[in-house]
Structure 1
Amino acid sequence: MKKDSLNILPNGFYRRSNVLEIAKELLGKVLCTELQGQVCKGKIVEVEAYSGRNDKACHANNGKHTKRTQVMYSAGGCAYVYLCYGIHHLFNVVTNVEGIADAILVRALEPIEGMDVMRVRLNSSNTKLTNGPGILAKSMAITTDLTETALMGPSVWIENDAALAEKQIVTTTRVGVEYAEEDASLPWRFYIKDNAWVSRK
Protein backbone atom coordinates (compact mmCIF):
# COMPACT_ATOMS: atom_id res chain seq x y z
CA MET A 1 0.00 0.00 0.00
CA LYS A 2 1.52 3.31 -1.06
CA LYS A 3 1.47 6.56 0.82
CA ASP A 4 -1.87 8.32 0.43
CA SER A 5 -0.47 11.84 0.12
CA LEU A 6 -3.91 13.40 -0.25
CA ASN A 7 -5.09 11.79 2.98
CA ILE A 8 -2.29 12.84 5.35
CA LEU A 9 -3.51 14.82 8.35
CA PRO A 10 -2.69 18.53 7.87
CA ASN A 11 -0.80 20.61 10.40
CA GLY A 12 -4.01 22.36 11.32
CA PHE A 13 -5.30 19.13 12.85
CA TYR A 14 -2.51 19.25 15.45
CA ARG A 15 -2.35 22.99 16.06
CA ARG A 16 -5.60 23.29 17.99
CA SER A 17 -5.69 24.14 21.67
CA ASN A 18 -7.57 21.16 23.14
CA VAL A 19 -5.14 18.26 23.52
CA LEU A 20 -7.89 15.96 24.85
CA GLU A 21 -10.03 16.55 21.79
CA ILE A 22 -7.11 15.88 19.46
CA ALA A 23 -6.16 12.74 21.37
CA LYS A 24 -9.63 11.25 20.97
CA GLU A 25 -9.71 12.22 17.30
CA LEU A 26 -6.40 10.42 16.69
CA LEU A 27 -8.09 7.13 17.54
CA GLY A 28 -8.78 5.28 14.32
CA LYS A 29 -6.24 7.31 12.34
CA VAL A 30 -3.33 5.43 10.73
CA LEU A 31 0.28 5.88 11.85
CA CYS A 32 2.68 5.16 9.00
CA THR A 33 6.44 4.85 8.68
CA GLU A 34 8.72 4.35 5.71
CA LEU A 35 12.02 3.48 7.36
CA GLN A 36 14.80 1.03 6.56
CA GLY A 37 13.25 0.76 3.10
CA GLN A 38 10.00 -0.68 4.47
CA VAL A 39 6.49 0.74 4.83
CA CYS A 40 4.54 -0.17 7.98
CA LYS A 41 1.09 1.04 9.01
CA GLY A 42 -1.10 0.66 12.06
CA LYS A 43 -4.44 2.02 13.23
CA ILE A 44 -4.08 4.09 16.39
CA VAL A 45 -6.17 2.37 19.07
CA GLU A 46 -4.85 3.84 22.34
CA VAL A 47 -3.44 7.25 23.30
CA GLU A 48 -2.65 9.41 26.33
CA ALA A 49 -2.81 13.21 26.47
CA TYR A 50 -0.26 15.41 28.27
CA SER A 51 -0.44 19.15 28.88
CA GLY A 52 2.47 21.44 29.62
CA ARG A 53 0.29 23.45 31.98
CA ASN A 54 -0.73 22.11 35.37
CA ASP A 55 -0.09 18.46 34.55
CA LYS A 56 2.60 16.92 36.74
CA ALA A 57 2.77 13.87 34.49
CA CYS A 58 3.95 16.01 31.55
CA HIS A 59 7.68 16.34 30.90
CA ALA A 60 7.18 20.06 30.23
CA ASN A 61 4.95 20.73 33.24
CA ASN A 62 4.56 24.43 33.98
CA GLY A 63 7.12 25.66 31.48
CA LYS A 64 9.89 23.17 32.15
CA HIS A 65 12.49 23.53 29.39
CA THR A 66 15.16 20.89 28.91
CA LYS A 67 16.99 19.59 25.88
CA ARG A 68 14.49 16.72 25.77
CA THR A 69 11.34 18.81 26.16
CA GLN A 70 12.27 21.63 23.79
CA VAL A 71 10.50 19.90 20.91
CA MET A 72 7.23 20.01 22.86
CA TYR A 73 7.24 23.79 22.46
CA SER A 74 7.33 23.50 18.67
CA ALA A 75 4.24 24.09 16.56
CA GLY A 76 2.03 21.01 16.51
CA GLY A 77 2.52 18.41 13.82
CA CYS A 78 5.91 16.95 14.66
CA ALA A 79 7.18 13.90 16.51
CA TYR A 80 8.49 13.78 20.06
CA VAL A 81 10.31 10.49 20.70
CA TYR A 82 12.03 9.85 23.99
CA LEU A 83 13.72 6.94 25.74
CA CYS A 84 11.91 5.36 28.69
CA TYR A 85 14.25 3.73 31.24
CA GLY A 86 16.98 4.13 28.64
CA ILE A 87 15.50 1.21 26.67
CA HIS A 88 12.11 1.87 25.09
CA HIS A 89 11.52 4.52 22.44
CA LEU A 90 8.10 6.15 22.96
CA PHE A 91 6.37 8.01 20.13
CA ASN A 92 4.43 11.20 20.85
CA VAL A 93 2.58 13.66 18.65
CA VAL A 94 3.26 17.33 19.47
CA THR A 95 0.12 19.50 19.44
CA ASN A 96 -0.95 23.12 19.99
CA VAL A 97 0.82 26.23 18.70
CA GLU A 98 4.47 27.15 19.01
CA GLY A 99 5.38 28.00 22.59
CA ILE A 100 2.71 25.85 24.25
CA ALA A 101 3.84 22.35 25.18
CA ASP A 102 1.21 19.65 24.65
CA ALA A 103 1.73 16.12 23.36
CA ILE A 104 -0.07 12.82 22.86
CA LEU A 105 1.59 9.48 23.53
CA VAL A 106 0.57 6.76 21.08
CA ARG A 107 0.27 3.67 23.26
CA ALA A 108 -1.00 0.99 20.86
CA LEU A 109 -1.69 0.26 17.20
CA GLU A 110 -3.65 -2.36 15.31
CA PRO A 111 -1.30 -3.51 12.51
CA ILE A 112 -2.49 -2.90 8.98
CA GLU A 113 0.58 -3.29 6.77
CA GLY A 114 4.11 -4.62 7.18
CA MET A 115 3.50 -7.27 9.83
CA ASP A 116 6.24 -9.53 8.45
CA VAL A 117 8.69 -6.65 8.72
CA MET A 118 7.56 -5.96 12.29
CA ARG A 119 8.16 -9.58 13.30
CA VAL A 120 11.72 -9.43 11.99
CA ARG A 121 12.39 -6.18 13.82
CA LEU A 122 11.06 -7.57 17.10
CA ASN A 123 12.94 -10.86 16.73
CA SER A 124 10.43 -12.23 19.21
CA SER A 125 7.70 -14.85 19.43
CA ASN A 126 5.33 -12.17 20.75
CA THR A 127 2.36 -12.17 18.40
CA LYS A 128 1.19 -8.80 19.68
CA LEU A 129 3.40 -6.63 17.52
CA THR A 130 2.13 -3.21 18.51
CA ASN A 131 0.11 -3.48 21.74
CA GLY A 132 2.22 -1.10 23.82
CA PRO A 133 4.21 2.10 23.32
CA GLY A 134 7.66 0.51 23.43
CA ILE A 135 6.89 -2.50 21.27
CA LEU A 136 5.04 -0.47 18.64
CA ALA A 137 8.01 1.87 18.27
CA LYS A 138 10.36 -1.07 17.77
CA SER A 139 8.00 -2.70 15.27
CA MET A 140 7.64 0.55 13.33
CA ALA A 141 11.42 1.33 13.55
CA ILE A 142 10.70 4.55 15.46
CA THR A 143 13.65 5.91 17.46
CA THR A 144 14.71 9.20 19.02
CA ASP A 145 16.29 10.08 15.67
CA LEU A 146 12.76 11.02 14.56
CA THR A 147 12.29 13.67 17.25
CA GLU A 148 11.28 16.99 15.62
CA THR A 149 10.39 15.20 12.37
CA ALA A 150 7.31 16.68 10.70
CA LEU A 151 4.38 14.28 10.54
CA MET A 152 3.88 14.87 6.83
CA GLY A 153 6.34 12.25 5.55
CA PRO A 154 8.50 10.97 3.96
CA SER A 155 9.63 8.94 7.01
CA VAL A 156 6.64 9.23 9.34
CA TRP A 157 3.10 10.48 8.82
CA ILE A 158 -0.48 9.96 9.98
CA GLU A 159 -3.29 9.28 7.52
CA ASN A 160 -6.90 10.23 8.06
CA ASP A 161 -9.69 7.71 8.50
CA ALA A 162 -13.31 7.75 9.56
CA ALA A 163 -14.02 9.42 12.89
CA LEU A 164 -15.18 7.26 15.77
CA ALA A 165 -18.44 7.72 17.61
CA GLU A 166 -18.11 8.75 21.25
CA LYS A 167 -19.61 5.42 22.36
CA GLN A 168 -16.67 3.62 20.72
CA ILE A 169 -14.14 5.42 22.96
CA VAL A 170 -13.21 4.36 26.49
CA THR A 171 -11.90 7.09 28.80
CA THR A 172 -9.70 6.21 31.77
CA THR A 173 -6.57 7.22 33.70
CA ARG A 174 -3.06 7.15 32.26
CA VAL A 175 -0.60 4.32 32.84
CA GLY A 176 2.55 4.54 34.97
CA VAL A 177 2.20 8.15 36.15
CA GLU A 178 1.77 7.55 39.89
CA TYR A 179 4.51 10.14 40.53
CA ALA A 180 2.15 12.85 39.24
CA GLU A 181 0.24 12.94 42.55
CA GLU A 182 -3.32 14.20 42.04
CA ASP A 183 -2.75 14.49 38.28
CA ALA A 184 -2.29 10.71 38.08
CA SER A 185 -6.06 10.42 38.37
CA LEU A 186 -6.82 12.63 35.36
CA PRO A 187 -8.97 10.69 32.84
CA TRP A 188 -6.62 11.41 29.93
CA ARG A 189 -6.14 7.97 28.40
CA PHE A 190 -8.43 6.99 25.55
CA TYR A 191 -8.78 3.73 23.66
CA ILE A 192 -11.09 2.02 21.20
CA LYS A 193 -13.62 -0.12 23.00
CA ASP A 194 -13.19 -3.89 22.63
CA ASN A 195 -10.07 -3.55 20.48
CA ALA A 196 -7.76 -6.54 20.97
CA TRP A 197 -4.58 -4.47 20.52
CA VAL A 198 -5.07 -2.09 23.46
CA SER A 199 -2.17 -2.42 25.92
CA ARG A 200 -4.24 -2.43 29.08
CA LYS A 201 -8.01 -2.48 29.54
Structure 2
Amino acid sequence: MKQDSSGSHEAEAGALLPPELYMLPALEAAPRLLGQHLVRRTEDGEIRCRIVETESYGGAEDKGSHAYGGRRTARTEAMFSSGGAVYIYLIYGMYHCLNVVTAAEDEPHAVLIRAVEPLTAHDAELMARYRGTAVRKPHALSGGPGKLCRALRIDKSLNLSRFDRKEGAMWIEQGEPAGSLPIVQAPRINIPYAEEYADLPWRFYLKSNPYVSIMDPQARPFCPG
Protein backbone atom coordinates (compact mmCIF):
# COMPACT_ATOMS: atom_id res chain seq x y z
CA MET A 1 0.00 0.00 0.00
CA LYS A 2 1.43 3.40 -0.95
CA GLN A 3 0.41 6.98 -0.25
CA ASP A 4 -0.06 9.52 -3.03
CA SER A 5 0.66 13.25 -2.85
CA SER A 6 -2.83 13.99 -1.50
CA GLY A 7 -2.26 11.71 1.48
CA SER A 8 -4.78 9.04 0.43
CA HIS A 9 -3.82 5.40 0.18
CA GLU A 10 -3.57 3.64 -3.15
CA ALA A 11 -3.24 -0.12 -3.66
CA GLU A 12 -0.06 -1.29 -5.33
CA ALA A 13 -0.63 -2.78 -8.78
CA GLY A 14 -1.30 -6.48 -8.52
CA ALA A 15 -1.73 -6.51 -4.73
CA LEU A 16 -4.05 -9.15 -3.31
CA LEU A 17 -7.11 -8.09 -1.34
CA PRO A 18 -6.45 -7.53 2.35
CA PRO A 19 -7.24 -10.73 4.29
CA GLU A 20 -9.66 -8.83 6.54
CA LEU A 21 -12.13 -8.42 3.67
CA TYR A 22 -12.56 -12.18 3.41
CA MET A 23 -13.33 -12.37 7.13
CA LEU A 24 -16.36 -10.09 6.83
CA PRO A 25 -19.94 -11.42 6.75
CA ALA A 26 -21.15 -11.81 3.18
CA LEU A 27 -23.50 -8.83 3.44
CA GLU A 28 -20.55 -6.56 4.24
CA ALA A 29 -18.15 -8.17 1.80
CA ALA A 30 -20.49 -8.14 -1.23
CA PRO A 31 -20.45 -4.36 -1.89
CA ARG A 32 -16.73 -4.16 -1.03
CA LEU A 33 -15.89 -6.70 -3.74
CA LEU A 34 -17.24 -4.33 -6.41
CA GLY A 35 -14.42 -2.65 -8.32
CA GLN A 36 -11.91 -5.35 -7.35
CA HIS A 37 -10.10 -7.30 -10.05
CA LEU A 38 -10.77 -10.98 -10.66
CA VAL A 39 -7.79 -12.63 -12.36
CA ARG A 40 -8.03 -15.94 -14.21
CA ARG A 41 -4.89 -17.69 -15.39
CA THR A 42 -5.46 -19.71 -18.58
CA GLU A 43 -3.32 -21.53 -21.12
CA ASP A 44 -3.73 -18.42 -23.31
CA GLY A 45 -2.56 -16.01 -20.62
CA GLU A 46 -4.13 -14.12 -17.73
CA ILE A 47 -7.54 -12.48 -18.03
CA ARG A 48 -8.33 -9.55 -15.75
CA CYS A 49 -11.85 -8.37 -15.01
CA ARG A 50 -13.49 -5.81 -12.78
CA ILE A 51 -16.23 -7.16 -10.53
CA VAL A 52 -19.39 -5.13 -11.20
CA GLU A 53 -22.24 -7.14 -9.64
CA THR A 54 -22.50 -9.33 -6.54
CA GLU A 55 -25.10 -11.01 -4.34
CA SER A 56 -24.81 -11.80 -0.65
CA TYR A 57 -25.81 -15.17 0.81
CA GLY A 58 -25.50 -14.62 4.50
CA GLY A 59 -25.17 -17.68 6.64
CA ALA A 60 -27.37 -20.40 8.05
CA GLU A 61 -30.29 -18.03 8.72
CA ASP A 62 -30.62 -16.88 5.07
CA LYS A 63 -33.40 -18.87 3.39
CA GLY A 64 -31.86 -18.07 0.01
CA SER A 65 -28.59 -19.76 0.92
CA HIS A 66 -27.60 -23.33 0.09
CA ALA A 67 -26.48 -23.60 3.71
CA TYR A 68 -29.78 -22.44 5.22
CA GLY A 69 -30.32 -24.12 8.56
CA GLY A 70 -26.68 -25.21 8.66
CA ARG A 71 -27.16 -27.66 5.78
CA ARG A 72 -23.77 -29.23 5.17
CA THR A 73 -23.45 -31.50 2.13
CA ALA A 74 -20.85 -32.40 -0.45
CA ARG A 75 -22.17 -29.48 -2.53
CA THR A 76 -22.09 -26.89 0.25
CA GLU A 77 -18.89 -28.01 1.99
CA ALA A 78 -16.89 -25.16 0.41
CA MET A 79 -19.15 -22.61 2.12
CA PHE A 80 -17.90 -23.84 5.51
CA SER A 81 -14.27 -23.08 4.60
CA SER A 82 -12.48 -20.02 5.94
CA GLY A 83 -12.96 -16.77 4.03
CA GLY A 84 -11.13 -16.58 0.71
CA ALA A 85 -12.15 -20.01 -0.57
CA VAL A 86 -13.73 -20.55 -3.99
CA TYR A 87 -17.24 -22.05 -4.06
CA ILE A 88 -18.52 -23.23 -7.45
CA TYR A 89 -21.78 -25.02 -8.08
CA LEU A 90 -23.84 -26.06 -11.09
CA ILE A 91 -27.40 -24.85 -11.82
CA TYR A 92 -29.86 -26.33 -14.29
CA GLY A 93 -27.28 -29.03 -14.91
CA MET A 94 -25.30 -26.77 -17.25
CA TYR A 95 -24.30 -23.37 -15.79
CA HIS A 96 -21.54 -22.85 -13.25
CA CYS A 97 -21.75 -20.12 -10.62
CA LEU A 98 -18.71 -18.53 -8.96
CA ASN A 99 -18.77 -17.52 -5.28
CA VAL A 100 -16.34 -15.97 -2.83
CA VAL A 101 -16.57 -17.62 0.59
CA THR A 102 -16.33 -15.09 3.43
CA ALA A 103 -16.37 -15.07 7.25
CA ALA A 104 -14.71 -17.57 9.59
CA GLU A 105 -14.45 -21.32 9.11
CA ASP A 106 -17.75 -23.13 9.79
CA GLU A 107 -19.75 -19.93 9.24
CA PRO A 108 -21.31 -20.50 5.79
CA HIS A 109 -21.23 -17.09 4.10
CA ALA A 110 -20.73 -16.63 0.35
CA VAL A 111 -20.85 -13.84 -2.23
CA LEU A 112 -22.04 -14.75 -5.71
CA ILE A 113 -20.15 -12.94 -8.49
CA ARG A 114 -22.90 -12.11 -10.98
CA ALA A 115 -21.06 -9.96 -13.52
CA VAL A 116 -17.57 -8.83 -14.48
CA GLU A 117 -16.16 -6.29 -16.93
CA PRO A 118 -12.97 -7.07 -18.90
CA LEU A 119 -10.24 -4.56 -18.15
CA THR A 120 -8.78 -4.41 -21.66
CA ALA A 121 -9.79 -5.14 -25.24
CA HIS A 122 -7.48 -8.16 -25.16
CA ASP A 123 -9.27 -9.53 -22.09
CA ALA A 124 -12.62 -9.02 -23.83
CA GLU A 125 -11.40 -10.74 -26.99
CA LEU A 126 -10.20 -13.79 -25.10
CA MET A 127 -13.40 -14.00 -23.08
CA ALA A 128 -15.52 -13.80 -26.25
CA ARG A 129 -13.47 -16.62 -27.76
CA TYR A 130 -14.12 -18.78 -24.71
CA ARG A 131 -17.82 -17.95 -24.78
CA GLY A 132 -17.91 -19.36 -28.31
CA THR A 133 -20.82 -17.22 -29.43
CA ALA A 134 -21.44 -13.83 -31.02
CA VAL A 135 -21.45 -11.09 -28.38
CA ARG A 136 -23.28 -7.94 -29.44
CA LYS A 137 -23.80 -6.29 -26.06
CA PRO A 138 -21.49 -6.15 -23.02
CA HIS A 139 -23.87 -7.98 -20.68
CA ALA A 140 -24.06 -10.84 -23.19
CA LEU A 141 -20.36 -11.46 -22.63
CA SER A 142 -20.17 -11.71 -18.86
CA GLY A 143 -23.38 -10.35 -17.33
CA GLY A 144 -24.76 -13.27 -15.38
CA PRO A 145 -23.13 -16.09 -13.37
CA GLY A 146 -23.22 -18.69 -16.12
CA LYS A 147 -21.97 -16.32 -18.80
CA LEU A 148 -18.99 -15.09 -16.81
CA CYS A 149 -17.99 -18.64 -15.89
CA ARG A 150 -18.01 -19.67 -19.54
CA ALA A 151 -16.11 -16.54 -20.54
CA LEU A 152 -13.44 -17.27 -17.94
CA ARG A 153 -13.41 -21.07 -18.29
CA ILE A 154 -14.49 -21.58 -14.72
CA ASP A 155 -15.89 -24.96 -13.70
CA LYS A 156 -16.06 -27.20 -10.64
CA SER A 157 -12.40 -28.18 -10.98
CA LEU A 158 -11.67 -24.82 -9.26
CA ASN A 159 -14.00 -25.48 -6.31
CA LEU A 160 -12.22 -25.18 -2.94
CA SER A 161 -9.23 -23.36 -4.47
CA ARG A 162 -8.33 -19.96 -2.97
CA PHE A 163 -8.81 -16.34 -4.06
CA ASP A 164 -6.15 -15.13 -1.62
CA ARG A 165 -3.16 -16.84 -3.25
CA LYS A 166 -1.54 -16.21 -6.60
CA GLU A 167 -0.09 -19.66 -7.17
CA GLY A 168 -3.41 -21.06 -8.39
CA ALA A 169 -5.59 -20.56 -11.46
CA MET A 170 -7.64 -17.66 -10.08
CA TRP A 171 -7.35 -14.89 -7.49
CA ILE A 172 -8.62 -11.38 -6.68
CA GLU A 173 -6.46 -8.27 -6.71
CA GLN A 174 -7.16 -4.82 -5.32
CA GLY A 175 -8.82 -2.48 -7.78
CA GLU A 176 -10.85 0.62 -6.99
CA PRO A 177 -12.02 1.35 -3.43
CA ALA A 178 -15.74 0.60 -3.18
CA GLY A 179 -16.33 3.91 -1.43
CA SER A 180 -15.51 5.78 -4.63
CA LEU A 181 -17.97 3.84 -6.81
CA PRO A 182 -21.66 4.48 -7.68
CA ILE A 183 -23.04 1.36 -5.98
CA VAL A 184 -26.76 0.57 -5.89
CA GLN A 185 -28.61 -2.29 -4.22
CA ALA A 186 -31.68 -4.31 -5.12
CA PRO A 187 -33.27 -7.70 -4.36
CA ARG A 188 -31.45 -10.83 -5.46
CA ILE A 189 -32.42 -12.65 -8.66
CA ASN A 190 -34.60 -15.78 -8.98
CA ILE A 191 -34.93 -16.85 -5.34
CA PRO A 192 -38.72 -16.86 -4.69
CA TYR A 193 -38.24 -19.86 -2.38
CA ALA A 194 -36.40 -17.60 0.10
CA GLU A 195 -39.75 -16.32 1.45
CA GLU A 196 -39.19 -13.19 3.56
CA TYR A 197 -35.54 -13.13 2.45
CA ALA A 198 -36.42 -12.97 -1.26
CA ASP A 199 -37.04 -9.21 -1.34
CA LEU A 200 -34.13 -8.08 0.81
CA PRO A 201 -31.81 -5.72 -1.15
CA TRP A 202 -28.79 -8.00 -1.04
CA ARG A 203 -27.70 -7.62 -4.67
CA PHE A 204 -25.15 -4.88 -5.32
CA TYR A 205 -23.95 -3.48 -8.62
CA LEU A 206 -22.32 -0.49 -10.28
CA LYS A 207 -25.01 1.87 -11.47
CA SER A 208 -25.40 2.00 -15.27
CA ASN A 209 -22.50 -0.39 -15.89
CA PRO A 210 -23.27 -2.13 -19.23
CA TYR A 211 -21.95 -5.50 -18.01
CA VAL A 212 -24.48 -5.81 -15.17
CA SER A 213 -26.86 -8.71 -15.76
CA ILE A 214 -30.15 -7.03 -14.83
CA MET A 215 -30.84 -3.39 -14.02
CA ASP A 216 -33.54 -2.84 -11.42
CA PRO A 217 -35.53 0.41 -11.88
CA GLN A 218 -36.24 0.35 -8.14
CA ALA A 219 -32.58 0.00 -7.14
CA ARG A 220 -31.50 2.44 -4.48
CA PRO A 221 -28.11 3.96 -3.67
CA PHE A 222 -26.05 1.80 -1.33
CA CYS A 223 -25.47 3.40 2.03
CA PRO A 224 -22.95 1.53 4.21
CA GLY A 225 -24.27 0.81 7.67
Could you tell me whether the CA contact under 8 Å between 1:76 and 1:94 is conserved in 2? yes
Q: Does 1:145 align with 2:162?
A: no
Could you tell me whether the CA contact under 8 Å between 1:38 and 1:117 is conserved in 2? no
Could you tell me whether the CA contact under 8 Å between 1:81 and 1:89 is conserved in 2? yes
2:129 matched residue in structure 1: 120
Q: Which of 173, 190, 193 does residue 179 from structure 1 map onto?
A: 193
Report the CA distance between 1:65 and its aligned residue: 0.6
Instruction: Give the TM-score taking structure 1 as reference length.
Output: 0.92
Give the Cα–Cα distance (whole angstroms) in 1 for the partners of residues 39 and 181 of structure 2. 26
1:15 matched residue in structure 2: 23
Q: Does 1:195 align with 2:209?
A: yes
Q: How does 1:59-138 map to 2 (within 5 A)?
A: 59-113=66-120, 114-127=123-136, 128=138, 129-138=141-150
Report the CA distance between 1:166 and its aligned residue: 7.2
Give the Cα–Cα distance (whole angstroms) in 1 for the partners of residues 13 and 162 of structure 2. 14
Secondary structure of the residue aligned to 1:187 is coil
Q: What is the RMSD computed on CA atoms of the aligned residues?
A: 1.6
Report the CA distance between 1:54 and its aligned residue: 1.4
Report the CA distance between 1:167 and its aligned residue: 7.0
Give the Cα–Cα distance (whole angstroms) in 2 for the partners of residues 28 and 168 of structure 1. 10
Give the Cα–Cα distance (whole angstroms) in 2 for the partners of residues 5 and 157 of structure 1. 14
What residue ranges of structure 1 are gaps of 5+ in the alignment? none
Q: Which amino acid aligns with 1:190?
A: F
What residue ranges of structure 2 are gaps of 5+ in the alignment? 1-11, 216-225
Number of aligned pairs?
197
Q: Structure 1 segments of 4 or more deviating over 2 A? A: 35-38, 164-167
**Deviation string for 1:136-195 (max 9, x for gaps)?**
011111111111001122310111022133771111100010111111011100001111
Higher relative contact order (CA 8 A, sep 6+): 1
Give the Cα–Cα distance (whole angstroms) in 1 for the partners of residues 13 and 157 of structure 2. 23
Secondary structure of the residue aligned to 1:20 is helix
Q: Which amino acid aligns with 2:149?
A: A
Secondary structure of the residue aligned to 2:130 is helix
Could you tell me whether the CA contact under 8 Å between 2:181 and 2:206 is conserved in 1? no
Instruction: Give the TM-score taking structure 2 as reference length.
Output: 0.83
